[in-house]
Amino acid sequence: STILYNDSFLRREQGKVDMEDRGYQFGDGIYEALRVYNGKMFLLDLHMKRLNRSARELRLSLPYDTNHLAENLDRLIRENQIDYGYVYFQITRGAIARKHRFPEQKIDCVLTGSVEAASKDEDLHADGIKVSLLDDIRWLRCDIKTLNLLGNVLANQEAFEQGSDDAILHRDGVVTEGTTCNAFIVKDGVLITHPADHFILNGITRIFVLELAERLGIPVEERTYTTEELRNADEAFITSTGVRVTPVIRIDDQSVGDGKPGLITLRLLRAFNLDVEQFIAE
C-alpha cells in the first residue's frame, strides 16, 4: 500500500520513523481518524478544525496547511483505491536528542498517514454493546487529540478482559466518556452528555449527533451526569467515527432500560445513516 510521509507518497515498507522521534519517545504529537465513504472524507472540515486546535494547544506547527493536507489525503485514498474505509494521520514534533522541553532549534515535525479499507457499515453495532464502568485515570487535557493514549489503552484492555466491548469512564462518580468514544444518556426524553471541556475529547461524531438532535427536536443538556444517572438512564449510547451511534444495552452486570436499544438512540442512528447515504450520493 501507499502511505503519506510528510509531503511524499511512499510504499508502506519505506515509512520509517527515527528512534528519537518525540512522538515515539513522549507521545508528543497529535492525530485524526476519518471515515471514507464513496472515496470521500466524511465531516472533513470539522476534523481539520480540531487538528488545528490540537496543534495550537501543543504549540506544534503543521508542516503545511490543512487544505494541502486534505489534497494529499485525497490522493492517498485514490492511490490505494479506497471507496469505503478509514484515513488515519498523525503529526509529531519531530526527532532530536531526547530532552523533555521543546527543542531550541527548529526541527521538522513528522507527518505520516495511511488508509484502511472497511465496508460502509463496518464497526456498527445497532443491536447494542456491553460496557464496563471504569475509573478515568487519564490526564486533565483529554480535549487535545494527542498520541498519548495509555489511559485509554489500559481501560479498553480491562474492559475487554471483563468481557465488555468498551469502557465508559468516570472521575469520582462523574461520567466523562468512553475509551474511544463519547457517551450519552437519555432520561425522560432529554439527551444528556458531558460538556466539551478539558475532561473529554469533543468528538466530531458528538458534535454531529448534537446537531441531529436539534434537527429532530430532541431536547439536549450538555452537563455532567453521575454513574448513578447512567445506571438509571432510560437509554445510553456511545458515538465515534467508527461506531457512529451505538446503543449501550448493558453496563457491567446490569441492563440499561429494558435491555434493548432505546427509541431516541435508534432515531438518531437512523438520521445519521440517512445523512451518510446522502453524503455518498452527493
Active site residues: 145
Q: Provide, rounded to whole angstroms, the least separation between the CB of residue 56 and ligand PMP.
A: 17
β-pairing verdict for 110-117 and 40-41: unpaired
- Identity of the amino acid at 155: A
Please state the φ and ψ torsions of residue 160, each to the nearest 5 degrees. Answer: -60, -45
Question: What does the alpha-carbon distance between residue 81 and residue 28 come to, in Å, rounded to a whole number?
Answer: 31
Q: Pick from 3, 41, 175, 201: which binds ligand PMP (CB under 6 A)?
A: 201
22 makes contact with ligand PMP (CB under 6 A):
no
Q: Pick from 240, 251, 261, 271: which binds ligand PMP (CB under 6 A)?
A: 240
Q: Provide, rounded to whole angstroms, the least separation between the CB of residue 7 and ligand PMP.
A: 25
Of 75, 64, 89, 65, nearest to 2 by C-alpha is: 75
Q: Pick from 90, 205, 224, 246: which binds ligand PMP (CB under 6 A)?
A: 205
* 184 within 8 A of 191, measured Cβ to Cβ: yes
What Cα–Cα distance (Å) separates residue 30 from each residue in 39, 88, 92, 112, 247?
A: 24, 11, 6, 11, 29
Residue 2 vs 152, nearer CB to ligand PMP: 152
Q: Provide, rounded to whole angstroms, the least separation between the CB of residue 271 and ligand PMP.
A: 16
Residue 9 vs 27, nearer CB to ligand PMP: 27
Residue 155 vs 233, nearer CB to ligand PMP: 155
- SS3 readout for 73-136: HHHHHHHCCCCCEEEEEEEECCECCCCCCCCCCCCCCEEEEEEEECCCCCCCCCCCEEEEEEEC
156 makes contact with ligand PMP (CB under 6 A):
no
* 157 within 8 A of 38, measured Cβ to Cβ: no
Question: What does the alpha-carbon distance between residue 274 and residue 282 come to, in Å, rounded to a whole number?
Answer: 12
Q: Provide, rounded to whole angstroms, the least separation between the CB of residue 46 and ligand PMP.
A: 8
Identify residues 58-117 at the interface with ligand PMP (CB under 6 A). none
Q: Pick from 94, 113, 203, 257: which binds ligand PMP (CB under 6 A)?
A: 203
Q: Provide, rounded to whole angstroms, the least separation between the CB of residue 106 and ligand PMP.
A: 30
- The stretch near ligand PMP (CB under 6 A) out of 58-66, 96-104, 177-185, 262-270 is 177-185
Grid coordinates of 217 = 427536536
Q: Which residues in this chain contact ligand PMP in the complex, by CB under 6 A?
A: 33, 152, 177, 180-182, 201, 203-206, 239-241
